[in-house]
Structure 1
Amino acid sequence: MTESPAPSSSSRRVALVTGASSGIGERTALRLQEAGFTVYAVARRVERMKGLADAGIHVVAMDVTDDESMTSGVARIIEEQGRIDVLVNNAGYGSYGAVEDVPIDEARRQFEVNVFGLARLTQLVTPHMRALADEPLARRCRIVNISSIGGKFYEPLGAWYHATKFAVEGFSDSLRIELAPFGIDVVIIEPGPIRTEWSAISRESLTETSRGGAYEGQAEKVRKVMERADRPGMSSRPDAVAKKIVSAVLANTPRARYPVGRGAGTVVRARKVLPDAAFDYVVKGTFGMRGRSRRRR
C-alpha cells in the first residue's frame, strides 16, 4: 500500500463532493466554497458542471463505479492541494420496481453506485485524512454520507433502493467508531422529499419496470404518491440539504445523523416509536394498499 504524501501546510481546507452535476451535490459545492473551502466537484457529466467551473470550483470527471476514475481523481486532488479535509459522498440514484421484476444486474448497479462507490472513495480518501491528524492545531476531518429517510423506513416497490440506504446507515455507524481515534468524524445526512431530478428518474424506472405485469396497479399508486411528494408544499429545495451539510462540516462536535427537509424528522421519529405492525399500517394507508387484494389466477 502506498503511503499518503505529507499534508500541505496551507490553512485552506479542501472538500470533495460527488454527484455534483445537479441538485444537492451542486448546491453543496457552492455552499462549501462560500464557507471558504477549496472545492472539487465530481460527477460523470462534466458538461453539466460548467456553472460550478465558472464559479471557481474545480470540476473533475469521476464515475463512482469505475475504480480507475476514483483513484486518479483523488490522486489529482492530493497532487494539486496536498490534502482532503472533507468528503461528501452524495452520488446515488433510486431505481424502483418489484423485487420480482427488477433485473438482478440493475439491483447490483444500484448497490455499486449507492454503497460500494461510496465505500471505495472512503477507502481512497481516509489515509490522507489520517495524515492530517498530525498537523499542529489540526481541525477534525469529516466524511459526510448522504443517506435518506429511506434508510429508516420502507415503501412498496422500493426494496432495492431502501436496501442500499439501510446499508449506508450501517456502514456509516461502524465507520464513525473506527475512525474517531484518528480525528475523522463520520456524519449521516437523511434527506426527506427533495425537489431534484431524483424523483422523476425513480418514477420513470418504476413505470417502465412494472408495465404490463402483476405489480402494475401497485406501481401506479406508488407513482402518484411520489408525484405528490415532489410538490413544493410537500418537499424541500436542494439548498436546504446543502445548508445542513455545511453546518455538519463546520460544527465543532457534529451529530451522528441529521434528518433534513419537510417531514423528515417526523418520519424518523415515527419509525422509532411505532412497532412494525403499526408502521406497516401507516405505509399501506399512504399507498392505498390496506384492502385485501385478490390473487391473480
Structure 2
Amino acid sequence: MKKAIGMNWLARADLSNLNSGEGIGNLTQLKLYRGNQYPYNSGQAVRHALFETLQREHGEVMKCLPESPCGQIETCWACDLRGYLIAEKLDENAKGTSDKRWSPLKVTPALGTKPVDLTTDLLLQFTANPAENRIANIQLTENIYRIGMCIDIANIGRQEKPVFIANGRKEKFSHWQESANISDDQRRQRVHAVLDAVYRLSGFAKQARGAVSLAPEVMFLSVQDHYHQRGLDVLLLDDEGNADISRVISYIQDRQFDGDQVLFAYTPGVITNGEEMAEAVRTTGLPVLSVRESFEKAKALVE
C-alpha cells in the first residue's frame, strides 16, 4: 500500500469572508498576511471544514468532538484522522511517557494569491424593539486560494507505545511497540473518504450567506511510496494570476524521478496562463484530467 498522498490545489472563491479575524467593534475583518495585502484562511479553518465535510457523509464513524475525544482510533475516524492523543493511565513501567500518535492529515492555510480588494457588507438585524436592532459590518473579498495537504497513509489508524527494559536498578527505554494498527482495507476506506471530502470541501464560516467552497479546481496530486511534503507550493501564482510554468515542470520531473505517481487536474478560467500551463504539463507525459477523474485515479493508485 502507498505511504502518502500530497496535494496542492487552487480554488476560486467569490465575494466572501471564510475565516474572520478578531474584528473591531461591529466590524468583522478578513484575515490578512504579507503586509495586510492578501487574504488567508487558517490551516485550522481548512481542517475544520474538511472534518465537517467528513461528518456529513460519515457521521456514524466520526464519533467525537474535539472537546470530548474517545481516543478509540480503531473505530472512531474523528479521533484517528484528527490526530487526538488522549491522556490515559500509563503502564507502571512507562515512566511518564505516553503512546505516540500522528496527525494523519497535514493542511496548510488557504493563502490568497491576489492583493485584496475589500468590500464591506452592511448587515442589519431588526427586532420588535427598535432599541435592540443590530448593525454589523463584514469585510468581503474574492480571490484565488492556494491550499496544500498531505495524507500520511501509513500512520492512519496506527499508534505506538514505549517499551522499557530492566537495567540494573533502573529501567531504560527499549523501543516503540504498536498498540493499534488497523487493516489495510480499513485504512483504504478512510483514505478514500478523505479524498472524497477534499473533492466536496465545504463548511467554512458564513456558508448560509456565502455558499463558497474551496474544493480543488486546479490541482497537482502525488501518490507516494515515501512520506514527504514536497510540492505543497507548486501552484504559486503572481499578482496577475499566472503560474510559474518552469516551476511546474521542475516539480513534475522531480516527482517522476522520485517514483511518485503524479496527477494533474485542470478547470479553465482559474489561472490566467492556464492553457499554456496545461500544454506544458502534457509535454511531460501527464494527461490533463478533470478534478473528479484525478480523485478517482488517486483512489485506484492507493491500492
* Fold shared by both chains (TM-score > 0.5): no
TM-score (norm 2): 0.26
Higher helix share: 1
Considering Cα pairs closer than 8 Å and 6+ residues apart, tell me whether 1 or 2 has the greater RCO: 2
TM-score (norm 1): 0.27
Higher strand share: 2
